[in-house]
Structure 1
Amino acid sequence: MSPLKRVRFTFLDRLIKEPVIYRMGHDYNVITNIRRADVQEGVGWVILEIEGDVSEIERSLEWVRSLGVRVDPALGDLVEP
């Protein structure tokens, strides 16, 4: 099983309509799973699981940060089966 990391992305209005999570999975060798999300006018957040090689996960997160997305550890508020 590949390493799994849970993060919270916070997007500002200029990035809400951009396919950031799609591009992350497409351009880097990671699998993304949206666990929770909320988008309102001007801001949005996503709780995301990222699976893959540790170096690819970190490279993908650096790219996301370079876009201006805030990346924090996901603590609590996950929907579990």
Structure 2
Amino acid sequence: MENDLVNGIQTNDTQTLRVQLNYPPDRVYQPILAQLVTDYNLVPNIRRADYDERNGGIIYLELSGEQSDLDRALLFLDAMSIEVNALPQAGENWVI
């Protein structure tokens, strides 16, 4: 999975990863995406999201930014107990 995450879509100096984030219930109300923007200089493109206070949350999104920032953000998400699953990277249009 890690290689799938690292080998995202590349445009100029920006990498874009398509991922599914699985949140545990205790993280649902924390501003995780805001931290990805402010602390890691990433641009999220949310394609679909849902949450439940008992079961946690799920977000399908693209994350764009410098490779080093993406790498640091993935470590942050892991430390926050947020599961990151790679989604297919091929093609500009994708449907969730």
Runs of 4+ in 1 over 4 A off after TM superposition: none
Structure of larger gyration radius: 2
Number of aligned residue pairs: 79
Once residues 49 and 31 of structure 1 are traced to their aligned partners in structure 2, the CA distance between those partners, rounded to angstroms, is 8
Letter in 2 for 1:14: D
The answer to whether residue 44 in structure 2 is matched with residue 28 in structure 1 is no
Q: TM-score, normalised by structure 2?
A: 0.74
Q: Which residue of 1 aligns with 2:20?
A: 8
| Distance in structure 1 (CA, Å) of the matches to 2:23 and 2:67 | 23
Correspondence list, 1:1-81, <5 A:
1=11, 2-42=14-54, 43-75=56-88, 78-79=94-95
Judge conservation of contact 2:28–2:53 (CA < 8 Å) in 1: no
Q: How many Å separate the matches in 1 of 2:25 and 2:87?
A: 21
Q: Please, what is the CA RMSD of the aligned residues?
A: 1.8
The one-letter code sitting in structure 1 at the alignment partner of 2:65 is G
Consecutive unaligned residues in structure 2, runs of 5 or more: 1-10, 89-93
Cα deviations by residue, 1:24-47 (Å, 9 ceiling, x for unpaired): 111012111111111123211001
TM-score normalised over the length of structure 1: 0.86
| CA–CA separation in structure 2 for the residues paired with 1:52 and 1:41 | 30
Tell me how far 1:74 sits from its aligned partner: 2.3
